[in-house]
Structure 1
Amino acid sequence: MVDIVRRKLLQGTALAGGLAAARSLFPAPAIAQIPKGTGEVVVYDGGGSWGEAKRIAYFEPFEKETGIKVIAQPRTDTGAVRASVLAGAPRYDVTILPGGKAPTFERDNLLLPIDYGYFEKADLGAFSPVKVGKFTVPAIIYSLFIAYDASKFASDAPNSWADVWDAQKFAGRRSLMAGTWASDGGTFEAALMADGVDPSKLYPLDWDRAFKSLSRVKPSILKWWNTGAEAPQMIIDKLITAGSAWNGRVSAANEQGAKIGYTWNQGMLQYDTWVVLKGTKNADNAFKFLAFSARAENQAKFAQHILYAPPNSRAFEHVPSERAKLLPTSPEARKLQFVQDYEFWNTVSSNGKANNEIAVAQWERWISGVR
């Protein structure tokens, strides 16, 4: 499942309320309309509640404003996307790539540089904690954090990765994402923090120390999860009491009546990015769409329908405070977390392998008992 950028965060509920009051007294400045166009733009959908949120916040309003038809295409794996570009027939004009994979597309010359001419300057300056890049515009920010059975740990709950590793104090089985997901899974960072490494000093990762730490938690692991739905479901089914999970999955489960606790402490902020694939015949329409999706008001509407944080921090000016506090980049949550270093994960070592590849190779050796 699925790895953006945002603006200055509001400094609390009081300020948010003040801004809301101010907006009711003074009209907001007009947003420059994106020029009308013709034809279409083929955009990655993602499906489910994610696809529905994009339809409401981006696809339909963009069509209404510009006259450009949005063709929503379902998800396909990144290997197939890569192959389509190499074949000269990109599957999408605009797609979303995990932050940890986008650099490989850049390196292999599979993306078009973004034309920022249609973007509002105020929006461009507000992307935080991840900035826009030459080839990338952050699309969503989410957190890989500690989740636990709230009915099991009502008063004293796990609040750090060291607590997750401590199956004696916090009894029960565990689940972490399989290491074959490398940067996406956050398992190596979690292992190092469980061993006492401060988040600010994680990179470059100490592989030996990480695997020694993983060996300590391995006896408690029920399953190394591979899809975002697995971790919360195992907590709901009382198969595990704690582990890693994505905030959006946990929030969705809780909205359906689950009792999954979580902490933002030592959470890992991950992000996905919008990109325009090389070879597209609708590049100008693609850039217009990206400018539309970067607007603060549109990202706020998106966040009302799914709990992925808006990369444009100005969007928080338009998100109700009760909703905002559930988002991983709200001021209170943000200060407890760190952004994963995708530059490290994509650095190529002297053996010609990127750290993402090195992690997978070492994981396979470790899980089979060879390492």
Structure 2
Amino acid sequence: MSAINLIKTAIASLKFHKLRTFLTMIGIIIGISSVVTILSVGDGLKAYVLESSQETNANKINITFKPDNFDANMSLLEPFTKSDMNGIKGIKGVKDVKPSQGFMGIMSFSSSQLQYFDKNQFAMLGSYDGKNEKVEYGRWFEDGDKDKSVIVLDNNVAKELFNPIESGIGKAVTMNGINFEVIGILPQVDMMSFGGNTSYVPKKAIDNMNSNEVITSLDVSLNAGVDKKEVYKDIEKYLMANHPNIGGKYEMQDPEEVTKAFEKIIGGLTKFIAFITGISLLVGGIGVMNIMYVSVSERKREIGIRRAIGAKPKSILLQFLFEAVLVTLIGGLIGILLGYLISKVAGAFLPFKPILTMSTFVGATLVSIIEGIVFGIIPAYNACKLDPIKAIYR
């Protein structure tokens, strides 16, 4: 039987059982559309992360300090100074240097005695610009707190002053003759946390106590085309010469490398979720196999007559195999279209646009075809091996 006749026969058979064919396709449609949606969202997220990184992190490195003692309070260290920053600016390949903002950026520190009635407790005080710490009780600072006398207590300090600890929220502690309202209490910190045993007040309050500003991380902008690692070696050599007894080491972080690692995580997670979701394709494939067995059983007489008038077993096998592939292919294409539409709708609620890549389209199409072959080959083989005489007089 020619390829054209195979196509015509397969289409005619599917059209004759429209409802059954559609119901068989549902598993394929759901599986393919789910996988396409997840991969499109994942690819869109990777593109968004890469684009954002290229805009903000091109030709930049971040330099941090890692103390030998993880319990070290950063207020007692001075890993970077303004003199260091001026010196680093003079290193070949460096365009600009500034303290990092936010996490592990600029800290302001002081120390004081906190008093609550007859209880006194020494406390390290700090202020993170732009930092949003997680609290166990109460809340962190809000924009309206910067001119207020409020404090977020370290967990250990709060335990010494209040029992139970959560009763301290809303109470006032006295420091340097000024009452500070307790608005939050931090969680218990572990040994890996920097700046442990530190309570926090607004930066204005720290400044009024003549605090010492500690720079804990630097953002270094480099000239285009320079080798980041080579420039960092020069920076590290300069810093170690200025701080020979610092008790720790300096480390470089390349934002672009962090972005690439994040992309790999996103890609791996996306593929894993797509794989789990794709299990529904197995269910759809079993449905195709079942319906092909039913089709072979219903058409035994037809198969016997065709064999009796000279049809080869190969033609019978190809006919039923092609029908199975046609079911999964059509279901797959519908699933791709549905997945594309779902991802477009999802994009309206996401900060990035999902992307249906050519590799996703081709991959989904090939999976659909392969599924038809895998789950259709056994019923098709059984059909071609039927005895013509028994098939006619079934």
TM-score if structure 1 supplies the norm length? Answer: 0.19
> Radius of gyration: which is bigger?
2
TM-score if structure 2 supplies the norm length? Answer: 0.18
